[in-house]
Chain A
Amino acid sequence: MSEYRLEMRGVVKTFPGVKALDHAQLKLRPGSVHALMGENGAGKSTLMKCMFGIYHMDEGEVIYEGEPVHIRGPLDALNRGIAMVHQELQPIPERSIAENIYVGRYPMKMGFLVDHEKMYEDAAEVLKEVHLNFDPKAKLGTLSVSQMQLVEIAKAVSADCKVLILDEPTSSLTAAEVEALFTIVNELRGKGVSIVYISHKMDEILRISDEVTIMRDGQYIGTWEAKELTTDFIITKMVGRELSNLYPTRSNTPGEVVFEVEDFTSINPKSFRHASFNVRKGEILGVAGLVGAQRTELMEGLFGLRCHSAGKITYQGKELKINQPKDAIDAGIAMLTEDRRATGILGVLSVADNVSVASLNQYLIGGIMLDDKKIEELVQDNVAKLSIKTPSSKTQIQSLSGGNQQKVLISRWLARDPDVFILDEPTRGIDVGAKYEIYCIIADLAKKGKSVIMISSEMSELIGMSDRVMVMCDGRVTGFIDGKDANQENIMALATQFE
C-alpha cells in the first residue's frame, strides 16, 4: 500500500481550440481533506471530471490504491469508491429522495425487481449519517437547494466511497449549513475517506483542509500543507503570472456617462438585486465576481434575456424599455454571451450567415431579396479587419477555433455599429495568442468611443483591461475600484463580501 490513496499524474486534456489540462497532477492521502484551488478556468473541475470518468484524459495516468486504473465512466468510478458532488446539481426533482440517492444502482430482489423496502430503509440510514432528517419517500423537489446538496453527499456516503470530490459545495449554503457540512466532512475524514474540496472561499479552505494543491491555466503549481499557508500566498500562486505584455496599451479616454442602470432587480430573489452602475463613453468597465455572483444574469437581464422586476436603464438620458433582446439591439446594445456554443454561434451555418444574421435588414433589395454581394463584402471586410482565419466565408463556423468564432461573433455586432458592448467572458476557451487579438479589438472599440462592459473571471484580465472594475457578490454590486488601483486583493475582498 502506497502512501497515497489516489494519484493523478501528467494529466493532459484538450478541448477543441484549447488545452484545458497541461500535465496536471494530484495526490490524495487517506483520511485527509485536500483543497484544490485556482482561478475560474484553471482546470479544477476538468481534472475532477477526468478522475470521475466524465471526461477521458488524452494523456496521463491514475493510480488508485497502488494500482494504475482506467476509469471508464461515472458508474465505474462509483463502483471503485470514487464519488463526486457536482457544482451544478443534477437532481431528478420529481422522484423521491431515496430514488435520487440510489438511481442507477437500485437494490434489487429476485434479480429484476427494485427492492423498495430496502431502498427506503437504507436511504433513511444514510440520511441520518448526514444529519438530514427527512422522509426518504418525499419528493426531492420539495427540498431547498442546500438540502439537495446534502442529499448528493448522502448519495456519495451511501456508495461507501473512499474518495469524495466536493466541487464548490458551499456556494449556495448559509453559514449554519456550512457548519453542518463541515461536521459531516470531519466525520468522513475520521473514517479514512480522502476528500477533494474545491472552493473559492479562503477562510473555509484554511479551516477545513489538510493540504492545498494550486492550479493555474491547467498546470500544476504546487502542493502545500494548509497550516503553512496564508490567503495572500494562495492568491499570488493562483494568479501568479506576469501582468506586463499580456495586454495592449490602451489609448481610450472615458468621456461622459452614457449608459446608466439603477436599482436593477431580478424576479428571482436569489439572483441580481438593486444593481446600480453606469458606463462612460469610451470606457471599459470590468465586472468581477466569483461563480454564483450573478454577473451573467445581471447582464442578460439588461439585454432582455432574463426578466427583471424593477429597475431603470437609461442611455444618453433616454429611458429604455427592454423586454427581449431585439429591444436592446434596436437601442444600440450588443452582447457576446458567456457560452459561445449554446447562445452565440449558429454552428451548422456558414461564417457569412453568422456575421450577417443580426443586420440583414440593411441588405434588403426592395424589402424582399437579400443583396448577396453586399453581404459578402461585409463578411470579407470583417474577415480582413479582425483577421479571422477561415478557409472561406462558406465554411461552417463550428469548424473554426474558439478565437475565430469569437471574432465572427464580434463582427456580427460590428455590422450593426452598436454603442454599448456587453462582453461576457470574451476570452473564455480561447488560446493565449488569440486572447491578445481579442484584447486589441476591445481596446479599439473603447478608443472609438464605444462603451464596453466586460465580465471576466480572470483577475489579471480585469486588471489589465479595465478602466474601472465593478465587483459583485451574491447578486449585489459590492463596489467599484479604479482600474489603476485594482489588484487581486481588493477585488477578492469585495467579491467575498457575503451578507
Chain B
Amino acid sequence: MQKLNTFNPKKFLSDNAIILLILLLAVFTAFNSENFISQSNLKNLIINVSPRFIIACGVSGCLIIKGTDLSAGRQVGLAACVSAMLLQEVGYAARMFPDLPDIPWPVAMLIVMAIMAVFGAINGAIIAFLKVPPFIATLGMQLVVYGICSVTTGNQPMGGYKESYRKVASGTLKTWSEELTKKDMSLNPIGKALDFIPYLAIFALIVGLFIWFLYNKTRHGKYMYAIGGNESAAQVAGVNVPATIIRIYVLASILYGLAGFLVGAKAGGASTATAYGYELEAIAACTIGGVSANGGVGKVSGVLVGVLVFEVLKICLQFLRLDPAYTFIAQGLVIIIAVALDLRKYLAKK
C-alpha cells in the first residue's frame, strides 16, 4: 500500500502553486517598496480581509454543494444601504427617514441580517424546488436586489452615520480597553499591540469559528458535504436535500447582511455601488483556498487563506504602483489559473 504521509514536493508545489506565487510576490514587493511591511499596512490588510472573509464564508457553503451565489455582492450592497438608513445620526439634515427613532447598532445589525435572510430563503427555494441552476437563479437575484437597492435609496448615496456605528469599523481592542480603563494607551506597548486587532477582526473570528463548528461538528455540515460529494447519493441516503440547500443559502445571506453592515461602517457611507464585484472576489478567494469547483471539498481555513492571498495580491500590486486597470487583469488571471489548477487535480485522477 502507498504510504500516505510521504512528502511529495512536486505535488505540494502544484497543489499550492498560486499561494506560493503570491508569497513570492509579497517578498518581492517588500524588498522593492518601503512601508509595505508596516503597522498601518498590516492593520489595513486585516480591516480589508475581515468583511471579505465573512462574505467568502457565506459563498463557500454554496460552492461546496456545487452551487454558486452571484447575488452575494449586491446583497452586501443592499445590507450596507439598509444599515445606513437605520443608523444615520438623528439630527442629520439629509436623513433618509427623519422620523426613525434612534436605533442601537446591534439591533440594526440584527434587523439587516434578518432582512437578508429572506433573500437567501428565496434563492434557496428557487434552486431546491424549481431546480433552476444556481448560476441563473442567483444571477437573476443579483439584478433584483440591485433594483430594490436603487428604488429604496432613490439612487442617492447616504452618509451622516452615528458615531457608535462608525466606531464598529474604526475601533480596535485598544479603543475598547481605553473606554474600560478611561486611560490613554497610545504610548503603552500593550495598547500598541491591542491596536492591531480591530473590532472587524473580532467579527470575522467569531464567524470563522461558528462556520468551522457548523461544517465539522454538525449534521448540517455533514449533509452539506454529502450533497456536494454526490447529490443523488445523498438523496438515496435519506438526506433532506432541499432543506439543506435552503439552509445554506439562508446562512450565506445572513452573513452577507453582517458583512454589508460592516462594509458600510468601514466606508462611512453607502450607495448602490457599495460592494461592487464582491461576489466574484469571494468566489475567487474560495477557489484559491481549495473549495473545489467539483463540490464536496472545502475548509474554513482554506477560505481564510484564499481571502488573504487575494488581498495581499491587491496590496502588492498597489505598492508596486501598477495602474489599477492592470490590477483587474492580474486578478482575473489569478482566478482562472486557480480554478484550472484545482480542476487539474481531478483530471489527473481519471
**Which residues from chain A sit less than 8 Å from chain B, CB to CB?**
303, 305, 324-326, 329-330, 335, 337, 342-349, 353, 356-358, 360-361, 364, 368-370, 372, 391-392, 412
**Which residues from chain B sit less than 8 Å from chain A, CB to CB?**
1, 4, 213, 217-219, 222-223, 225-226, 228-230, 232-240, 292, 294-297
Asked whether, in the complex, the Cβ of A344 is within 8 Å of the Cβ of B1, the reply is no
> Which residue of chain B is the closest to A300 with respect to CB atoms?
B236
Q: Specify which of A342, A364, A369 is in contact with B232 (CB 8 Å cutoff).
A: A342
Q: Specify which of A324, A370, A391 is in contact with B222 (CB 8 Å cutoff).
A: A370
Q: Specify which of B4, B232, B234, B292 is in contact with A357 (CB 8 Å cutoff).
A: B234
Q: Specify which of B4, B218, B223, B235 is in contact with A325 (CB 8 Å cutoff).
A: B235
Asked whether, in the complex, the Cβ of A347 is within 8 Å of the Cβ of B226, the reply is no
Residues of B within 8 A of A391 (CB): 1, 4
> Which residue of chain B is the closest to A416 with respect to CB atoms?
B238
Residues of B within 8 A of A353 (CB): 222, 225-226
Residues of A within 8 A of B232 (CB): 342-343
A326-B240, A358-B237, A391-B1 given; A346·B225 CB < 8 A = yes
Q: Specify which of B217, B238, B294, B295 is in contact with A358 (CB 8 Å cutoff).
A: B238
Closest CB-CB distance, B198 to chain A, in whole Å? 30
Asked whether, in the complex, the Cβ of A360 is within 8 Å of the Cβ of B219, the reply is yes
Residues of A within 8 A of B294 (CB): 348
In whole angstroms, what is the CA distance A46 to B296 when docked? 31
Asked whether, in the complex, the Cβ of B238 is within 8 Å of the Cβ of A346, the reply is no
Residues of A within 8 A of B235 (CB): 305, 324-325
A347-B229, A349-B226, A369-B217 given; A325·B236 CB < 8 A = yes
A346-B225, A349-B229, A353-B225 given; A335·B236 CB < 8 A = yes
Residues of A within 8 A of B237 (CB): 325, 329, 357-358, 412
Asked whether, in the complex, the Cβ of A364 is within 8 Å of the Cβ of B4, the reply is no
Closest CB-CB distance, B177 to chain A, in whole Å? 33
Asked whether, in the complex, the Cβ of A329 is within 8 Å of the Cβ of B238, the reply is yes
Which of B223, B226, B236 has most chain A Cβ within 10 Å? B236
Top-4 shortest CB links A-B: A346-B229, A329-B238, A348-B296, A358-B237
Closest CB-CB distance, A424 to chain B, in whole Å? 11
> Which residue of chain A is the closest to B1 with respect to CB atoms?
A391
Asked whether, in the complex, the Cβ of B217 is within 8 Å of the Cβ of A349, the reply is no
Asked whether, in the complex, the Cβ of A357 is within 8 Å of the Cβ of B239, the reply is yes
Which of A337, A346, A360, A369 has most chain B Cβ within 10 Å? A346
24 contacts between A and B (CB under 8 A): A305-B236, A325-B236, A325-B237, A337-B233, A337-B236, A344-B236, A346-B234, A346-B296, A348-B228, A348-B229, A348-B297, A349-B229, A353-B222, A353-B225, A356-B222, A357-B234, A357-B237, A358-B238, A360-B222, A360-B223, A369-B217, A370-B217, A370-B222, A391-B4
Asked whether, in the complex, the Cβ of B217 is within 8 Å of the Cβ of A372, the reply is yes
Closest CB-CB distance, A254 to chain B, in whole Å? 27
In whole angstroms, what is the CA distance A391 to B2 when docked? 9
Closest CB-CB distance, A404 to chain B, in whole Å? 13
Closest CB-CB distance, B297 to chain A, in whole Å? 5
Residues of B within 8 A of A335 (CB): 236
In whole angstroms, what is the CA distance A43 to B297 when docked? 35
